[in-house]
Amino acid sequence: MAHSIITVATMKGGSGKSTLASCLAVHWQLHGRRSAILDADPQCTIARLATREKALGGVAVIEDATDDAYKAAQRLVGSYDTVIIDTPGFRSQATLACLGVTDFVLVPVKPSPFDVDRMLDTLNVLINGVSGRRPMFRCVLTQTTRDSVIAKHIRSELAEAGFPVLDSEMTNRVVYAEAALWGATPTLLDKKGPAAREIAAIADEVEQICQSMSHVNRAAIA
Ligand SMILES: Nc1ncnc2c1ncn2[C@@H]1O[C@H](COP(=O)(O)OP(=O)(O)OP(=O)(O)O)[C@@H](O)[C@H]1O
Ligand SMILES: [Mg+2]
């Protein structure tokens, strides 16, 4: 997964984009991949997080919510192994342009029909292609309650509609918000804790997909 740009996007606000983006960046940083977050949300959630005590474990955070944010991502990916773009919870030109340069898109969705409906707008943008190309994407269920009927239902509804969903999910845990109080993620506070393990599982799944994708691309070029 060398030098990848990963965008976390959905036009549904509050679905866990910034939490997921910061958790993945810290996880990869702690596992030896130099990680940067491009904060393309004018709310600057992640840039503010990075000013707190734990400073996201040294992950570089660059703020750019302008229409040129995608250019900043392209520059950063030369110096970092992974650039994660956090986007706002509404339609923005910055997000659309970032999707055009991204290798992989994660679409977080809370298991509720209201959230799914709004998220479908994002998926339609992806499926119709941005700047003539369609980035690889996966939905990821967030703030789930383990073994809940609604999460299983939404998972199978998405799969049936042809929207791929990661097997791993982010369950609802107060430690995500608590860690943020210190400018941290659960992985920084307890590397072996349950939240850190679920983030590791999401990160591993994303890495596997990106790796298999790069094999396919290489085969296509050969
Ligand atoms: N897995 C989780 N368990 C518990 N709380 C969570 C979880 N993920 C996110 N949250 C909380 O839900 C709220 C919204 O999360 P977050 O800010 O990451 O969403 P967002 O999609 O970035 O929102 P916005 O669209 O406003 O940028 C925050 O208070 C966050 O702490
Ligand atoms: Mg956010």
- Collapsing DSSP to helix, strand or coil, 147 comes out as coil
What is the domain-level CATH number for residue 65? Answer: 3.40.50.300
What ranges in 32-108 are assigned the alpha helix state H? 45-49, 69-76, 93-99
The total number of structural domains that make up the chain: 1
User: What's the confidence (pLDDT) of residue 216?
Assistant: 61
119-138 per-position pLDDT tens digit: 887 788 777 777 677 789 99
Average pLDDT value for the chain: 91
Q: Is 143 in the pocket of ligand 1 (CB under 6 A)?
A: yes
User: What's the confidence (pLDDT) of residue 217?
Assistant: 60
| Residues near ion ligand 2 (Cβ under 5 Å) | 17-18, 45
Distance 85 CA to ligand 2 centre (A): 11
47-100 per-position pLDDT tens digit: 999 999 999 999 999 999 999 999 999 999 999 999 999 999 988 899 999 999
Q: Is 8 in the pocket of ligand 1 (CB under 6 A)?
A: no
Atom of ligand 1 nearest to the CA of 15: 21
Question: Rounded to whole angstroms, how far apart are CA atoms 167 and 57?
Answer: 27
The predicted model scores a pTM of 0.95
Could you tell me the residue range of the domain that residue 140 belongs to?
Answer: 4-221
